[in-house]
Amino acid sequence: MSSYFTDLAQQYIDGEWRPGTGSWDIIDFNPYDDEKLASITIATVDEVDEAYRVAARAQKEWAKVNPYARRTVFEKALRLIEEREQEIAEVLVTELGSTVGKAYFELHLAKEFMREAIHVALRPEGRIIPSPIDGKENRVYRVPVGVVGVISPFNVPFLLSLKSVAPALALGNAVVLKPHQNTPIAGGTLLAKIFEDAGLPAGLLNVVVTDIAEIGDAFLEHPVPKVISFTGSDKVGRHVATVCARNFKRSVLELGGNSALVVLDDADLDYAVDAAVFSRFLHQGQVCMAANRVLVDASVADEFTEKFVAKVKTLKTGDPRDPETVIGPVINSSQADALSGVVEQAVAEGATALLRGTATDNLVEPSVLTGIAADSALLQQEVFGPVAFLIPFDGEEEAVRIVNDTRYGLSGAVHTGDIERGVNFAKQIDTGMFHVNDATVHDEPIVPFGGEKHSGVGRLNGEATLEAFTTQKWISVQHGRSAFPF
């Protein structure tokens, strides 16, 4: 596994592994013990330009390849992920502090998405559309957009890179991938290595490890990519959308969330506790779909709270390599400091800390807070870490109001003994996704994934992937002669 952090600590452009030509290095650290894993000389604007132009050249031939032949690359890539699963899991644990359980959860989903990429190669279909003109045949082709730029985050880097990269390639596009600076291997060059070994022709997938301090908006503004797929914060997403619109590019934005898990008065409380704990604390709470807010009907709030706090107390914080660890490190010290600040601010505003974890370096123990002021800014922001807010409510109407009182609209869940009551509740929530009697964290290969409001624009997965990474082209054929007015 350690060889990944030496062999893959490079740029990958036109099928070649090489150092960047920038004047400084990105240092890749293990967030648990601060071990230096790799040093990668960054890519410059010139290398971003080269990566895009190489991709554009390679894509023209790739689009001509029979999709049945194209998909063999993805079949081989899937086998390689299966064969290297333990090594990849170790990279996830080492580079981003994934617990062992979270690493294998991410890889399970990654394999499902690679299986879908195999099928998506055959999904594009053309149509013949009637014309009011005699002898006119309207053909509508679904064709690749050309080149896709992908920017992936640090929290689920292998999966969230793959779920854009693999289908974009399968549909006949080329890709330039910019992984997050904290996860250049897991979110970038590791995927490039898998596709290289799977036989993907050179130039179709290029990985540039760089920073906006070096390249500015060059990755977004470059004339080659027609679509930018970005996963990250709503603040950066707003900038990505603005730059893309200014340059007439399509953007697919999977952004942050402030999801709520709602417990109604007829819920199975033990089950709801399990779902809520998973939804809040998976990967230390560094998940866009995580349940930032846990809303509980006042009639069952005392019982739920007691059980919730008791379960959270059992979560082991520590070395992510230990299979018993549930809470590993957050990604860096800035994030750890910010989380301590959240707890301090809540308590200063009058909240009660039912459980107040301590922070040691990047290890942040869970905290559970209640009594947060309704007008607190904390309830409006995405808290990316192991801090849970318990919020009582009186009746469904109030619950709906509280859940919707946020600029975000990504995911959520409701627990109830009546399925249709849950569905009716879900319909009133302004989110792209909502789950009845389950966790807030879900992703599946063929369902539309994405958010409303500040949680994003566009969807991925299934049919939405076709819309994201292909375009439609109308070609008309006139059988016989047209009659022109002059």
Per residue, the 3-state secondary structure of the chain, as one string, reads CCCHHHHCCCEEECCEEECCCCCCEEEEECCCCCCEEEEEECCCHHHHHHHHHHHHHHHHHHCCCCHHHHHHHHHHHHHHHHHCHHHHHHHHHHHHCCCHHHHHHHHHHHHHHHHHHHHHCCCCCCEEECCCCCCEEEEEEEEECCEEEEECCCCCHHHHHHHHHHHHHHCCCEEEEECCCCCCHHHHHHHHHHHHHCCCCCCCEEECCCCHHHHCCHHHHCCCCCEEEEECCHHHHHHHHHHHHHCCCEEEEECCCCEEEEECCCCCHHHHHHHHHHHHHHHHHCCCCCEEEEEEEHHHHHHHHHHHHHHHHCCCECCCCCCCCCECCCCCHHHHHHHHHHHHHHHHCCCEEEECCCEECCEECCEEEECCCCCCHHHHCCCCCCEEEEEEECCHHHHHHHHHCCCEECCEEEECCCHHHHHHHHHCCCCCCCEECCCCCCCCCCCCECCEECCEECCECHHHHHHHHEEEEEEEEECCCCCCCC
**Whole-number Å distance between alpha carbons of 279 and 9:** 33
Q: Are 21 and 46 in contact (CB under 8 A)?
A: yes
Burial class for 17, CB neighbours closer than 10 Å (0-12, 13-18, 19+): middle
**Rounded CA separation 359/329 (Å):** 10
Quote the Cα angle for 62-448-445, to 5°.
60
Q: Are 253 and 227 in contact (CB under 8 A)?
A: no
Cα gap 5→458, rounded to integer Å: 34
**Token pair recorded at residue 263:** 């417990």
Cα angle value 354/437/329 (rounded, 5°)? 45
- Pick the catalytic residue: 95, 106, 254, 365? 254
Q: Which two tokens stand for residue 244?
A: 């893309």
Catalytic-residue membership of 288: yes
Strand 352-355 vs strand 367-370: parallel, antiparallel, or unpaired? Answer: antiparallel
Which residue out of 288, 365, 382, 396 is catalytically annotated?
288
So which residues are the catalytic ones?
254, 288
